Structure 1
Amino acid sequence: MGYNKKPLKGEISIGNHRGRIRLRWRHEGIRCTLNMPYSYLPENMHHATLKVAEIKLDIMKGCFDTTLVKYKPEPVKPVISTPLQIEIPESTVIYLDQLVSKFNDWTKNIRNINIDLSVDYLGVSRMLGRYVNVPLEDIAAKMIGEKWSVITYNRRLNFLSSFFSWLQDTGVITINPLLHVTKRREKRKSKNKRREPLTEEEINNFLEAIRKDTYCHKFSPYRHSLYYPFLKFIFLTGVRNAEAIGLKVKHIDFEAGQIEISDTLARTTKGTHHAARISKGTKTGNIRYLPLTEELLALLTPLLHDREPDSLVFLSPKGLSIDDRMLKKRVIKPVMLALGIADRDLYAARHSFGTRAVQQGMVLTDVAYLMGHSTVDTTIRNYVSVTRPAVVLPTINKQGN
């Protein structure tokens, strides 16, 4: 079904308005809108196409009804208008596991999301499937009993409340059992020790061990040094894992001296290997440009020789995208343990970059931009500490008489 597209001039568009079909067009310079009482689903599109044909025919005949009264369909009962109407038992009790297929259809056709590629929506679908013979009105109590983080609880509460509101609007249920349930307040999160920043000495020792294959097993089919450019790039730029994995040759602009960060190869619920990843925009949806320093120029130039613009810059030994989960397991963790460095995720490289930037006195807005934060608040919350005592007070400059 997808998102609505702008129609050609003179055409009548069929769009999605709050889950229902809506027609929009212009006639003699006046915008016309006709809302139809049918859910925006493939099986209801014939209602829209018939109405479009009727309107076009009247325009051609010169008998178009500008009041639109002629074209308004008769209101239909929810049991007829929506194919997602569930069969309610004689006891009128709706059980949560009965709503799984309805939730999947709502996710696909109303939210326009592929549930198989969304961890959040797929989790909610599976959760409903586990609640066998649990009445709809008990959903709040069941959710409270789940051992979820605050973020997970609030996300699932939001998804399900929107879903139930839609079911209520279409007449499937009479009340939204989550309408007045408040979100949980997030407590101060303890920092993930595997993402703690590394010191400059630890970074240099780690990268040098990777470059020289110091701890690579002599019978290993793939040398650690193959990943050296990828790992050094992340430590030098602080980009997210998926941003580095999805970096393409065309994003390196030697003339402008900059690197464009606009695409990612994101992991999905199917895994982190090449076939499971999908191409999408950055996490915050923005595009940023990083300066192409001499160090980065020397690192990247050998990788781009005779490469197509849409080719990935960093490749696995098999010529595919890098699997960061397996890289962490097979290379990063063993090398760091051998160096006496505590267990770290690859994401620690990003936190190391942000920490260095702040410690070296970079302007916070510049740090936020380089790291792709949507607001400077994220930068302050993660990388600025106010525990260090101040040694001076700000002064007031005296103006001359």
Structure 2
Amino acid sequence: MVDKVQLRNRKGSVGIESFRGRLRLHLPRQLFDGQNKYLTLGLTDTPENQKLAEQKVHQIELDIEAGCFDETLDKYKPQRHLSIVKPSAQKVSTISELWDEYIDYKRQSLKPTTLDKLAVLEKHIKRCPYQLLDEPIKIRLALLQQTTNSQVKDVLMYLSAACKWGMKHGLVTNNPFDGMYNELPKHKWQDDSQPNAFSEEEKQKIIQAFRNHKPTKGIGYSYYAPFVEFLFLTGCRPSEAIGLQWKHVISDCSRITFEGALVQVGNGERVRVNGSKNNKKRVFNCNQKLQQLLIQIKPENPEPESLVFPSPEGLSIHYRNFSRRAWDKIVDSLVERKTTPYSCRDTFISEQIAKGVPTAVVAKWCDNSVEMIEQKYLDNKVLEQMKPL
């Protein structure tokens, strides 16, 4: 939820907003082709920081009037060293104080999905009845009483990281949470996560089912058939396909560059992030089938910034809605088990390795490590169906 601080109401002005207790600027949409654009300041919402935000607003509006507005926003981004620690390196004594300092320092380098996760963990930290850093056992027990083992494990892991950072910058003298999170049971996904690839027969049934879907009213799910086939042909993450723009596809559609994604945070807001999940950019050479698919859906003169797979409304695909409606309705009844669009990634990886492509190459194609490929994506069910050459 965004609480707006109403400082100016005239059209085209820069607005100040409080988002999850932090200040950000809402820039005029006219400057960005009608799209909402925000500049995060990395400041908590306090009267003093609102004055700093007003100074930033004044600077930006002067540049707009003078015709020298920096569209990259680099000129207006807060300098990281300004929010590192208190000037006197004053010691902190509570987990909440340490958390605030740590997140303020890290905020500019974290992806929206990570910030979204940390906002949940922060609630547990702030609610904890024991706050002093010198009572870690009490903190651990209190956290276990107010949330799940998995959430407590994450909180303790980040508190340990915050203490290590705090020691480096003179805010704390030791790390009372060091290794504590390892004493809790593994996350469920670490124990139970199994690859869920489709067989070749299932894959073809799914693609045909999307192609042939005819609704009783409205837009049919056949609209998503190219998107689904693309997931099967590339093994990319759904967020990478959703965020793919025509500037990432060379003119003859023989090569794709994956260098970002559109992810959903908070209440469904979609945010573009640069780099992959592992902060990498990768080039993917298209086989003939993938090249033909892209050629078929490519507009005559595509705008470089246009999405390759827009939603029926011309916006970005809403992954959660697509998964719950189109995917669940069509796929689960076909394969008689619960799957997600990520199963396309499992399928691509398992197929390629079964065909003899080295695991290291597949790992490069899919932006993962060999270890993760073998542990989390390679489905032995697919390998069992293959016959030796």
Q: How far apart are the structure 2 equivalents of 1:165 and 1:284?
A: 23
Q: 2:122 aligns with which of 101, 121, 125?
A: 125
Match of 2:276 in 1: 282
CA contact (8 A) 2:253 2:291 kept: no
Match of 1:223 in 2: 220
Match of 2:349 in 1: 354
Residues 43 and 283 of structure 1: CA distance in aligned 2, closer, same or farther (over 3 Å): closer
Q: How far apart are the structure 2 equivalents of 1:139 and 1:174?
A: 14
- How far the C-alpha of 1:363 sits from its partner, in A, is 1.7
- How far the C-alpha of 1:154 sits from its partner, in A, is 5.4
Stretch moving more, 277-286 or 181-190: 181-190
Compute the RMSD of aligned alpha carbons. 3.4
- How far the C-alpha of 1:85 sits from its partner, in A, is 6.3
Residues 192 and 168 of structure 1: CA distance in aligned 2, closer, same or farther (over 3 Å): closer
CA contact (8 A) 2:227 2:241 kept: yes
Amino acid in structure 1 at the alignment position of 2:176: P
Q: How far apart are the structure 2 equivalents of 1:43 and 1:290?
A: 39
Match of 1:257 in 2: 254
Match of 1:380 in 2: 374
Residues 303 and 385 of structure 1: CA distance in aligned 2, closer, same or farther (over 3 Å): closer
Residues 133 and 340 of structure 1: CA distance in aligned 2, closer, same or farther (over 3 Å): closer
Larger Rg: 1
Amino acid in structure 2 at the alignment position of 1:81: S
Residues 251 and 110 of structure 1: CA distance in aligned 2, closer, same or farther (over 3 Å): closer
Amino acid in structure 2 at the alignment position of 1:328: S
- How far the C-alpha of 1:201 sits from its partner, in A, is 1.0
Q: How far apart are the structure 1 equivalents of 2:316 and 2:138?
A: 43
Match of 1:297 in 2: 291
Residues 293 and 130 of structure 1: CA distance in aligned 2, closer, same or farther (over 3 Å): same
What whole-Å deviation, never above 9, does each CA across 1:36-91 have from its counterpart, x for those lacking one?
xxx943699xxxxxxxxxxxxxxxxxxxxxxxxxxxxxxxxx8x825x767xxxxx
Match of 2:161 in 1: 162
Identity %: 23
**After superposition, where does 1:1-400 map in structure 2 within 5 Å?**
40-41=81-82, 81-82=88-89, 96=95, 99=96, 103-110=99-106, 112-113=108-109, 118-143=115-140, 145=144, 147-149=148-150, 155-165=154-164, 167=166, 175-179=174-178, 181=180, 183-184=182-183, 186=186, 189-192=190-193, 196-214=196-214, 216=215, 218-219=216-217, 221-255=218-252, 257-271=254-268, 275-305=269-299, 306-373=301-368, 375-382=369-376, 383=378
Q: How far apart are the structure 1 equivalents of 2:351 and 2:261?
A: 24
CA contact (8 A) 1:247 1:313 kept: yes
Residues 213 and 191 of structure 1: CA distance in aligned 2, closer, same or farther (over 3 Å): same
CA contact (8 A) 1:238 1:350 kept: yes
Amino acid in structure 1 at the alignment position of 2:103: T
Q: How far apart are the structure 2 equivalents of 1:43 and 1:201?
A: 55
What whole-Å deviation, never above 9, does each CA across 1:280-318 have from its counterpart, x for those lacking one?
210122222222222112211233212111211000011
Match of 1:51 in 2: none
CA contact (8 A) 2:112 2:271 kept: no
Is the helix fraction higher in 1 or 2? 2
What whole-Å deviation, never above 9, does each CA across 1:317-344 have from its counterpart, x for those lacking one?
1111111111011111111233253121
TM-score by length of 1: 0.63
Q: How far apart are the structure 2 equivalents of 1:107 and 1:303?
A: 43
Q: How far apart are the structure 2 equivalents of 1:182 and 1:124?
A: 14
TM-score by length of 2: 0.65
Q: How far apart are the structure 1 equivalents of 2:219 and 2:172?
A: 58
- How far the C-alpha of 1:352 sits from its partner, in A, is 1.0
Q: Which residues of structure 2 form unaligned runs of 5+?
A: 1-79, 385-389
CA contact (8 A) 2:278 2:367 kept: yes
Q: Which residues of structure 1 form unaligned runs of 5+?
A: 1-38, 45-77, 87-93, 390-401
Residues 116 and 228 of structure 1: CA distance in aligned 2, closer, same or farther (over 3 Å): closer
Question: What secondary structure does 1:260 align onto?
Answer: strand
Question: What secondary structure does 1:239 align onto?
Answer: coil
- How far the C-alpha of 1:251 sits from its partner, in A, is 1.3
Q: How far apart are the structure 2 equivalents of 1:361 and 1:115?
A: 35
Residues 169 and 336 of structure 1: CA distance in aligned 2, closer, same or farther (over 3 Å): closer
- The count of residues paired between Structure 1 and Structure 2 equals 295
